[in-house]
Structure 1
């Protein structure tokens, strides 16, 4: 396991937990849920930057580069799209939908690690 995967797992798990708690406690999108989405987005920017530096230094991914960067781009778009949706849907359930970002991004990070290193963790 790489340090970036571990950090991503912690960020995604914390975001999911925060959003689940806010689903139970709030009747509208909670600021803490939105901030947890921002934390995921910041992590993804750091991950993309790390990957870009690594690849520009000559290291390559084991899988297909287009697939790797497709996952990165999709993961970067996901929190933004869900944030926009949550702002438009001001119900309790927007917190629950925001929690799914943490779960989906975790799976995407796992897949990115498979593409990057060539095997499951």
Structure 2
């Protein structure tokens, strides 16, 4: 993983999560803005998948458990899809709150993936 790209992803995921939480607690239903903010995070996660495939060949191999890293990354890619599906099916203010929780959860998962990639555990 690339540290600056991970930090950009975490910042955008936090901003998206906070935006969706504020909108949800204000009574807003899912909109193009809330779903779009999480779609941006999803796009960055797809780029992260490509980076994770290419990085070992470019001299940036992971030092932690590779299986754990990929489980986190695949789960992180699937999480926004599930959150958006929920938001489109339920269309209530609580589904907007769920989008916010997904965004903040992704920020935590991204930081954990960075730790797995760069810190030798064993």
TM-score > 0.5, shorter chain as reference: yes
Residue matched to 1:92: 93
1:22 corresponds to which residue?
A: 23
Task: For CA contacts below 8 A with separation 6 or more, give which structure has more relative contact order.
Answer: 2
Matches within 5 A, 1:26-105: 26=28, 28-105=29-106
The two structures have a TM-score, normalised by structure 2, of: 0.89
Contact 1:18–1:32 (8 Å) recurs in 2: no
CA-to-partner distance for each residue in 1:6-35, whole Å, 9 max, x for gaps? 101221122012212321152x21221100
* CA distance in 1: counterparts of 2:33 and 2:75, whole angstroms: 23
Cα-to-partner distance string for 1:28-78 (whole Å, 9 max, x where unaligned): 212211001101101101111111110233532111111111111000000
Give TM-score, length-normalised by structure 1: 0.89
* Count of matched residue positions in the alignment of Structure 1 and Structure 2: 118
Displacement after TM superposition at 1:110 (Å) = 0.8
Aligned position for 1:8: 9
SS of equivalent residue, structure 1 residue 63: coil
Q: In structure 2, how many angstroms separate the alpha carbons of the residues matched to 1:80 and 1:56?
A: 29
Counterpart for residue 117 of structure 1? 118
